[in-house]
Amino acid sequence: MAEPKKDYLSSLASEIEKKPDSFKEEKVERIVKPKRSMDPKIMIGAAAALIIAIIGVYFLFFAPKIKVENFVGKTTNDVGIWAKENGIDTKNIVMNQVYSMDYDADQIISQNKKEGSKIKKDSTLIFEVSKGADPDEKIEFPDIKNMTLDEINDWISKNKLSKVKVNTVYSDTVEKDQVISFDLKSVNENNFTRGTNLTISVSKGPQPAGEVTVDDFVKKEVSSAEAWAKSKKVELEIVEVYHDTIATGLIVSQSIESGKTMKQGDTLTLTVSKGKAVKVPQLVGYTKDQLEAWAANKENAVSIVKKEVYSDAPAGSVISQSIKAGSQVDSGTVLELTISLYMPQLQTNSREYLGKDYLALNAWVDDVNYRGASITAGAWDGEECSDEYPTPGQIISYHCMANDGTDLPHGCDRPLPLNAKIGYKKSTGGCTPKPEEPKEVQIGLTPLGSEAAMKSFCDENKLACSFTYVSTNDSAGTGKEDGQISVKKGGEPVDPNTTVKAGDALSIEVFYNPDKLNNPDKNDEN
């Protein structure tokens, strides 16, 4: 409690005591009135009341009353509205702006007064406000051409790219959400920043189909429907059917009636006439005459191709057909018919293959087997020499058998079973040796050199040589001397390169000197 104030008289007495003695002559007496004692309870109550009054006055007139809110994440506009509602002068509000990746532009990042604290109207409030992400910060430029729309949006959001614009357009060539193109303004990819203008075009896929009113195409050419479909962006499906009255190539019906609508890109099915069908009957069993009569009918305008084979069916009859009986086919359709040749016949006379090379018989067997038979042939009767068929490989004899090896009762004269066997004997050559052919030899130089050598040559090679002797006196001018010879064949002189063979006739002239014959001594000298 505060110290009680002193009364005036007590103060005055104190002052007098401090005065000089002369001043003390005057006598001052203090009259003390008896104090009244107060009740302690009353004093405590009065003190409490006083304290409450003082606190009430403080809170009523002096204490801060405005409760601060949490503005982090809110905008500066939110702060202004709150300040106006609470009578706060905006001059006392300070906004410090900074770049931030965590807060968008104009959002409050922090505040100097905590949430829940109380301030006066003239209190200073300081806020840190985001200017958004730094537009001059370099950003790594991705491979946009290979990004999807979702990937691009994630890239934009992650890097807070406010200057990137994405346009979606229809495209028939680029898949939905794939990049068509991009336009990077005034900078290259290496200098891309957050503030760079970038426009990206992304595909929305093909444009939604519009509606088309269907025309009437019945009994019209397919070409007219094709032109219409191309102009209206409609797909066509062509189904061909036979029709007895509507000509080939004309439209019989359409899947969507004329006057009704369909979407672009949808399919219109057209049923097109193939003309009147050719009905193929059961031709198997037809005889030659029956087949010719059926083929002659103009309504049966198919192209018949025949294949002839050996069988036990009558010759000329149909064995099989390539088109099932009861089928309807186009005019001109190829119909393959297998025609019977009946049984194979080996010969038309009993000696047809005698003397022929066995390979000729084997060739006949191959031919009939190619046409449906199953005949076998072989030299089961062996081989031997034959003067009648002296060429090796000639057939000496043959006979026809059933498949079990028994001879056919009619031999080879009539048509053979399809699995017949033909056995033959073939020649190894003639039995009687042929005379040896004379061999050819050259006369050569030695035989032409002397009479003795020539006689020996003629004897060895079995030549018909005739010798005549000519006097050198009678053959003056020939240049021949005693002992020399001259050989002629057919009256013509021969030289050492002439070839002769046994039996050839040669004329040999032997020249002699008669003088030597008459003078033996002279001969001895020579």
What confidence score (pLDDT) does residue 363 get? 97
Q: What would you measure as the largest C-alpha separation in the chain, in angstroms?
A: 243
Q: Helix (H, G, I), strand (E, B), or coil: what is residue 47? A: helix
Measured distance between the N- and C-terminal CA atoms of the chain, rounded to whole angstroms: 201
User: Distance between CA 269 and CA 251 in Å, rounded?
Assistant: 10
Closest by Cα among 170, 142, 145 to 154: 142
pTM for this predicted structure: 0.43
Closest by Cα among 218, 270, 277 to 242: 277
What confidence score (pLDDT) does residue 222 get? 93
What confidence score (pLDDT) does residue 60 get? 54
What confidence score (pLDDT) does residue 522 get? 46
Residues whose CB falls within 8 Å of the CB of residue 273, separated by 6 or more in sequence, listed in order: 240, 241, 242, 243, 246, 247, 248, 249, 250, 251, 252
Q: What is the DSSP letter of 435?
A: P
Each residue's pLDDT expressed in tens, for the chain with a length of 526 residues: 444 444 544 554 555 555 555 544 555 555 555 555 666 777 777 777 777 666 555 555 556 779 898 999 999 999 999 988 898 888 889 999 999 988 988 999 999 988 889 888 888 899 999 988 898 888 888 999 899 999 999 999 899 888 899 999 988 889 999 999 998 877 888 888 888 889 999 998 887 878 999 999 999 999 999 999 999 999 999 999 989 889 999 999 999 999 999 998 899 999 999 888 899 999 999 999 999 999 999 989 999 999 999 999 999 999 999 999 999 998 899 999 999 999 999 999 989 999 999 999 999 999 999 999 999 999 999 999 999 999 999 999 999 999 999 999 999 999 999 999 999 999 999 999 877 777 888 888 778 778 888 888 898 888 899 988 888 777 666 677 787 888 888 888 888 888 888 888 999 888 888 877 665 554 444 4
User: Distance between CA 409 and CA 399 in Å, rounded?
Assistant: 11
- Give the CA-trace dihedral at 399, 403, 404, 406, to 10 degrees: -30
The DSSP bridge pattern shows strands 211-213 and 179-184 to be: unpaired
User: Distance between CA 23 and CA 157 in Å, rounded?
Assistant: 99
User: Distance between CA 366 and CA 374 in Å, rounded?
Assistant: 9
In 225-360, the DSSP E strands lie at 235-241, 251-254, 261-263, 267-273, 278-279, 303-309, 318-321, 328-329, 334-340
